[in-house]
Structure 1
Amino acid sequence: MTSTAEIIRKGRKFDQVLEGARQVFMADGFEGASVDEIARVANVSKATLYSYFPDKRLLFMEVATTECQRQADDALSSIDMSAAPEQVLQQTGRHFLTFITSKFGQQIFRICVAESDRFPELGQKFYNSGPAVMRAEMAAYFEQAEARGELRIEDRILAADQFGELCKADVWPRLIFGMTQTVTEEEMDRVVDGAVKTFMARYGANQGA
Structure 2
Amino acid sequence: MARRGQELREHILDTAKLAFLEDGFERTSMDAIAARAETSKRSLYAHFPTKDALFLAVVERIRVLFGARMRTPAEYSAQPSEAVVRYCGRFVQLLRWSSVARMLRLGIAEADRLPDLAAGLHDVLFGITARDLAAHLVTALGLAPDKAEVVADELIGLVIHPTLPRLLFGLEPLVEEMPEETRLATDVDLDRIRRLLHIVMPPSPAA
Report if aligned partners of 2:73, 2:83 keep a CA contact under 8 Å in 1. Answer: no
Distance in 2 separating the partners of 1:137 and 1:68? 13
Structure 2 residue corresponding to 1:110, chosen from 105, 109, 112: 105
CA distance in 2, matches of 1:90, 1:22: 31
- The answer for the alignment partner of 2:188 in structure 1 is 189
Please name the residue that 1:9 is paired with. Answer: none
Percent identity over paired residues: 21
| Residue correspondence of structure 1 range 15-94 to structure 2 within 5 A | 16-23=8-15, 25-26=17-18, 29-31=21-23, 35=30, 38-40=33-35, 42-50=37-45, 52=48, 54-55=50-51, 59-76=54-71, 79-80=74-75, 83-94=78-89
Shift of 1:120: 1.0
Is 1:136 equivalent to 2:131 in the alignment? yes
In the alignment, the residues of structure 1 paired with residue 187 and residue 12 of structure 2 have an alpha-carbon distance, to the nearest angstrom, of 31
**Match of residue 101 from structure 1:** 96
The 1:202/1:134 distance shift into structure 2, 3 A limit, reads closer
Equivalent residue pairs, number: 193
Q: Indicate how the Cα distance of structure 1 residues 24 and 54 shifts in structure 2: closer, same or farther if over 3 A, else same.
A: closer
Query: CA-atom RMSD, angstroms?
Result: 3.7
Does the aligned pair in 1 maintain the 2:135–2:145 contact within 8 Å? no
TM-score normalised by L of structure 2: 0.71
Tell me the distance in 2 between the aligned counterparts of 1:204 and 1:81: 22
Deviates more, 1:36-45 or 1:156-165: 36-45
Aligned to 1:155, the other structure's residue is in SS state helix
Q: For residues 41 and 13 of structure 1, do their structure 2 counterparts lie closer, same or farther at Cα, with a shift above 3 Å needed?
A: farther
